[in-house]
Chain A
């Protein structure tokens, strides 16, 4: 209450200053007049009385000043006056003002825009309860490479761990979903028990999966994302009316997740896992997520899973590929390698702001030198040091606030333009925007700049200095020592600016290198479309023949479209394929007979000198040409490679360097048996350039590409029933609507 009165009264003093002034003056005058009259009644003359009263009570103007200075509004008032003075002074040198404001605006704008990205991607915590306890868990290979879980391994981890409140596995695949407004192709995730409870989120409408739906071959059920519910189900309140058809099977919708729930990122629907566990301990098909017990540290969890991993390794030896296990906070996992790139960029932009400040400081220095006489006169007239500093502060405050406003405008524009600039695989980018936290950052940056510049320009307001300036009069106050100092300062500042500029340039360059790392293929004019051919069992030759025909048909129809240059098929696209890239061991046969069965394969795989490890992916003819991956040696797949001919493979450069250093891998024979249960040996016919498989930030991995899919049905269908189609067009936009 009293605070409110203080503010109100202060505001009155600020905005009705004249009235308040008049009132105070009148009051003071009345009081003095009353006292004078009282004295006169005692027999003094009017002059004597007035003199006595003035001596006793003090000068009326001084009293007014004292009363003014006592309220908080006087501080505001003096700042306001200084700011107006600064504005007037700056208007007299519009060139300086414009350059300074624009420079600061660019610096603050760039930092604010980058901070908005950092805030959304790195700083904001995940929208789940107690997010620090949510972790991802992986199997680890001896070389430190993370692998998804194989079913039996996961079961062991789940049963034996002592540090997890819950542990769940899930697997995501693109599926055709109909039943809503129209059939769509979206990502669907099968989840085990505890998936939603690990994340700590329940459906906001409907219910979670019932017990009957979570068992082997249980009742079908699907939970959809808020986005899917809004877009495809028309936000219908009654879920029971619109069951979904996912890959040909009917699923009643039982729940809708809240809008903030987005895990795995972009997934539209979740269905309970109802199929039997795969017995293989090397079929790494499942991602794992868990919630740590209350009070358990990450280190404890790591030790715990490590112990279990070692136990499994000791028990199953060569039958498992895992060597250890790793635990990482979900937030870190979602952000991944982007963190380093973003921090680099923040550093570069921070330095850029410093350069902007240094430049403006240089301009201010010149101004301060020119204004020394003015300052000296003011000081001589009684302005205190604090008052003078305040005046310089006001000027830098004015500049930096104007720069800050311009900066926010620039940042708003930049954030709007960001989606076209930042890599599409930057995680959590949908949260980027100008929000209160970002504005607060801009404000803090502005104030910091104002403070820094103000202190800089007022730092030489020493009394002796001023006296010198005053006594030097209008002459150039060019005392030898002083001039040398000034030259030293100017030189030092230029050197510093240069150093900072070089630093910013270097950081900017490394950021560019990080984000523009060539993915290994040409992205221009490349269009990709995903589709799922109906699943066909590899033991059914008729179904396979049908599928080969179907894929051939699709490819030839696409090739017939005008302006389509080339078409290729693949089981997993680079970058987008991400974690789904299959990975496994292969044998270097080198004349040895092909193993008769998987057991034989396993026996031979025990000899580490003849085992290699690589990502594996089935692609069709023309795939590398379509993607623009350069051919280094030999040939890529073509129409010669059909089911009946010896099976062939193409490997990438880094695998060639690793397994056949200094030799020609073309002609070598390998066997990739456990990837597709097909024991036909593969002859290497070509070497191609490296393609970054996962994110663009990750290093290229050894990679091997198997047979051309359309021509070798058994391998195509043994692979998961997904194929991606890439086609290269000659122009950017023209033909897009030709595609189904």
Chain B
């Protein structure tokens, strides 16, 4: 039940934002998507996921609404707000910059 290895604090938030930037999604969908995209490296337990969802909701980055799923169940779908999209774009840029810099440092001979 511990956090999956390598998932540092704050990264989960970004992964959720990334998932929702593609399409509105419910909790299970988000977990599944993260696993798929990371090709099984990250696996998320329910506690961590829903704490993160509550945190993002309170920060005004995402918003939840109850909708019917494709197999007509009711589920809570999360949607990125404008602030959430801005935050996601900013963090992506920042992440890319840092990752590139770190890669350059590690790759230097």
A interface list, Cβ under 8 A from B: 1-2, 5-6, 9-10, 23-24, 27-28, 30-35, 37-38, 56-58, 60, 62-63, 65-67, 70-71
Contacts and interface: CB of A to CB of B under 8 A. Distances in A.
Contacts of B58: 2, 5-6, 9-10, 71
A32 B73 CA distance: 12
Contacts of B51: 66-67, 70
B47 A67 contact: yes
B46 A32 contact: yes
How many B residues touch the partner, as a band?
20 to 34
B50 A67 contact: yes
Contacts of B32: 35, 38
B45 A27 contact: no
A397 B43 CA distance: 44
A349 to B, nearest CB: 46
A5 B60 contact: yes
B103 interface: no
A58 B45 contact: yes
B1 A58 contact: yes
B28 A34 contact: yes
Which residue, A5, A9, A28, A34, has most C-beta atoms of chain B within 10 A? A34
Contacts, number: 80
A2 B59 contact: yes
Interface string B61-95: 00000000101011110000000000000000000
Nearest to B48: A66
A2 B60 CA distance: 6
A672 to B, nearest CB: 85
B57 A30 contact: no
Contact of A31 (B46, B54, B60, B71): B46
B27 interface: yes
A650 to B, nearest CB: 84
Contacts of B46: 28, 31-32, 57-58, 60, 63
Given A28-B46, A31-B26, A57-B31, A71 B54 contact: yes
Nearest to B27: A31
Contact of B73 (A2, A6, A34): A34
Contacts of B48: 66
Interface string B17-32: 0000000001111011
B27 A27 contact: yes
B45 A35 contact: no
A1 B55 CA distance: 14
B7 to A, nearest CB: 15
B104 to A, nearest CB: 35
A30 B76 contact: yes
A28 B50 contact: yes
A35 B69 CA distance: 13
8 contacts: A2-B60, A28-B27, A30-B26, A30-B27, A32-B46, A34-B29, A58-B1, A66-B50
Contacts of A30: 26-28, 73-76
A413 to B, nearest CB: 45
A716 B46 CA distance: 99
